[in-house]
Amino acid sequence: MFTGIIEELGEITAVDWADDAARVTVRGPIAVSDAKHGDSISVSGVCLTVIDQDAESFTADVMAETLAMSTLDGVQPGRRVNLERAAQVGDRLGGHIVQGHIDGTATVLAITDGSAWRVVRLSLDPEHAPLVARKGSIAIDGVSLTVSEVGGGLDDGWFEVSLIPETLEATTLGDRVVGDRVNIETDILARHVERMLGLGYGARESVLPSSLSEPIPVPATERSAS
């Protein structure tokens, strides 16, 4: 699990392509400072497993499903990436719960600069639209952000995020231009609500077993006091 608070800007240094997979090497001294074989590291929002590392870099395998769902499909050496190590128990949760399980990609539609911030508008595919809400959380290239606005319909949906100077400087989002693709991960709670509604639970009186949905008895002494 991650929090969407980026720890460092890394760089893809090598890519070894196979027919339906890739092995990537990423430079990130902070990310590998305490890494070991099998650890998870978020690479621009994609959860990858360390299979080898040295003092400066780590190597991970990227399977076909991940390539199809993310911007790693055409990655080349030299690309800058956002890096975050997995959260530790007891850490402050500065962003929101991010799994590193990408829902897909979005395209930058427009960029508007303000006096001290930048508003970025991104496309919203029909399958993602129900999962993105104004003031809700979303991870873009692994960065925890708040959705500032949503609009359009299912076929022409979009959403916006507002980026402060720190985010622009500390992550790859400051480099994004109109037409760029980014990885997005919607909020995990929205995913579960969508699943429950799809199974018809929204039309039922309760999703709890009858033994749990019954009123909890209140002791007579407490009823008298109220």
Q: Which of 52, 39, 22 is nearest to 84 (CA)?
A: 39
Tokens of 2: 């991650």
Q: Look-up: residue for tokens 């092995």? A: 23
CA distance 202 to 208: 12
**What pLDDT is stored for residue 37 in this prediction?**
96
Tokens of 212: 């749990």
Q: Which of 13, 12, 15, 3 is nearest to 45 (CA)?
A: 3
Tokens of 12: 């893809």
**What pLDDT is stored for residue 78 in this prediction?**
97
Spans of the chain below 50 pLDDT: 212-213, 222-226
**What pLDDT is stored for residue 185 in this prediction?**
96
**What pLDDT is stored for residue 223 in this prediction?**
46
Structure confidence by residue, pLDDT tens digits, 46-99: 999 999 999 999 999 999 999 999 999 989 999 999 999 999 888 877 888 899
Q: How many helices (H) and strands (E) does the chain have?
A: 5, 12
**What pLDDT is stored for residue 10 in this prediction?**
97
Q: What is the DSSP track for 132-201?
A: --TT-EEEETTEEEEEEEEES-SSSEEEEEEE-HHHHHHSGGGG--TT-EEEEEE-HHHHHHHHHHHTTG
**What pLDDT is stored for residue 210 in this prediction?**
53
**What pLDDT is stored for residue 218 in this prediction?**
54
